[in-house]
Amino acid sequence: MQAYSEICMFAHMNKRQNIFVSLLELLKVKHTKELSNQHFNEHPHKYNLFGLSKMLSDYGIENAATRITDKENDLPEIQTPFIAQFGGEFAAVHKVESDKVSFLWKGSPHILPMTKFVDGWSGVVLLAESSPASIEPDYKKHRKTELLQLLIKTLLFSACGFILLLTYLKGAFYTSVGFSLLLLINLTGVFVSWLLMLKHLRIHSQYADKICSLFKQSDCNNVLESDAAKLFGIIGWSEVGLGYFIANAVILLFAPALITYIALINIVTLPYAFWSVWYQYAKAKQWCPLCLIVQVLLWSIFAVNCIFGYIQIPEPGIDALLTLMIVGSGYAAAILAFNLFVPKVNTDKTIQELRQSINSIKANEDVFSALLKKQPFYETHDCHSVIRFGNPHSPLQITILSNPYCNPCSKMHKKIEQLLQKTNNNISIQYFLSSFREELNTTNKYIIAACLADDSDSALQLITDWFENGVALKDEYYKDWSLDIEAPECTSSNKSLPLAMKSTGSFVGKFK
């Protein structure tokens, strides 16, 4: 096995692809998609092999990287699934047969002949093997949240569907074939436009990816990211389409008398259908299957309107003009509402990208070292505390200034527990206790006396129990423990503490 430092870093990995989650699914490791996606997207090294290895380790998955020299002969011997560098990016290979290779690449499934895959494969692989202990950290908590969110979404869509169904049945709209066809076409348009918006926002959708790969020369993203993909350079055509079809469906269900106005507005949209097809063919030279489906739906609405006689010119007058303005305002409101929705989603994605950038800076040892040297430094080697956890001989020692009644200190203690668990207790932790007021020093003495009476593991749990159950009870929590809080080990000794640390409050502890 080669060292990770000898493996190339791949900075051009497709940002839409989450190879980490794909591999978790292939390995059948219990995980939640939202948290696993977040873990990947915010990881400081998500675009290199070391980062993927670290993420797999976080989930308890054994893994190792290597470079295969005899690619064609050794490929069938590699246990699947594994990650391979293919075409300058990462691919999750899940099946290798005698003549072909099946893999996930750029978020889509691919099958290539063995020889073609070998030609595009650099030979670099990340082998991974799951076990019963492989699982997402805090999986049960995250799974509970995921199920709750799924329930809420299910209830929401069920309620909306129920309202639509009751409205459809109550109005006896099923007796009109033309009306039912129009409603079906517009609801289909809502679904297709929603997929278009997901593609525009670069949010993975299995349905959208499958539709967009229908043609050989098709790439929805290339078309949607072109200069012509926005009306006046501000409103995306996916937003216009979604607002248009939703407004149609709402008017059909709740104001069916306005169906002639829907028919007239549909005629206005038809030139756009011609322009869209021309632009994809002549300018973009790429087809967007989702966009083409929208054009077909627009013409289908026109055909239904013609067949069933819905295209009628209202009698001229102030009433007709006001009605047309009301209907037009409804379309505008729907379109602009989605236009305001898109920046909110983009903001959330930007925040996630910023977190990843910040994590990258924090993970840079040179940056960390430079910032660390600018911080105030307090010598503690002459004043070791008796409240210690982990390996006392570890070259890495972390000193915690804590307060038993401090809520942030309670949260920090949970992080310390996780850190000790993650490092198998191979680091040294020592606690200094402070207090907000002199009369609260008694609690510190109780904690020190209790820690002295137990081993380090019990002492760690004892402090955890204090933060969870003892804060509200104060000294009553320890009154039946028969602890000698006046023992020399529990008395105050501030003399060896730096003056800056003393200024934060009273300290209790034994220092060697």
pLDDT at residue number 255: 83
Q: Which residues contact 50 (CB under 8 A, 6 or more apart)?
A: 4, 7, 9
- pLDDT category at 506 given cuts 50, 70, 90 is very low
C-alpha 323, offset from chain centre: 45
Average pLDDT of every residue of the chain: 78
Domain at 4-129: CATH code: 3.90.70.10
Domain at 388-508: CATH code: 3.40.30
For residue 476 the two structure tokens come to 């009553």
Specify which residues 390 forms β-bridges with.
428
CA 294, CA 276: separation in Å to the nearest integer? 10
Q: Which pairing describes strands 121-129 and 82-86: parallel, antiparallel, or unpaired? A: antiparallel
DSSP state of 104: E
Domain residue extents for the chain: 4-129, 171-337, 388-508
- In angstroms, how far apart are the furthest CA atoms of the chain? 100
pLDDT, average across residues 192-203: 79
Which DSSP string corresponds to 120-140?
HEEEEEEEEE--TT-B-TTHH
Q: pTM of this prediction?
A: 0.59
Specify which residues 66 forms β-bridges with.
125
C-alpha 248, offset from chain centre: 33
- pLDDT category at 174 given cuts 50, 70, 90 is low
Q: Which residues contact 155 (CB under 8 A, 6 or more apart)?
A: none
Please state, as a whole number, how many other Cβ atoms lie within 10 Å of the Cβ of residue 346. 13
Phi, psi of 100 (to 5 degrees): -150, 165
Cβ-contact 94, 81 below 8 angstroms? yes
pLDDT at residue number 17: 46
pLDDT value at 9 more than 60: no
CA dihedral (331, 332, 335, 339) in degrees, to 10, reads: -170
pLDDT in tens, 16-72: 447 888 888 888 899 988 888 888 888 888 888 888 899 998 898 999 998 988 888
pLDDT value at 244 more than 80: yes
pLDDT in tens, 97-143: 888 888 888 767 788 888 898 888 888 989 998 888 899 988 899 89
Q: Peptide bond before 81: cis, by omega within 30 degrees of 0?
A: yes
Which DSSP string corresponds to 24-79?
HHHHT-B--HHHHHHHHHT-TTTTSHHHHHHHHHHTT-EEEEEE-SSHHHHGGGSP
Q: Which CATH superfamily is domain 171-337 in?
A: VKOR domain (1.20.1440.130)
pLDDT at residue number 303: 92
pLDDT value at 345 more than 80: no
Specify which residues 102 forms β-bridges with.
95, 111
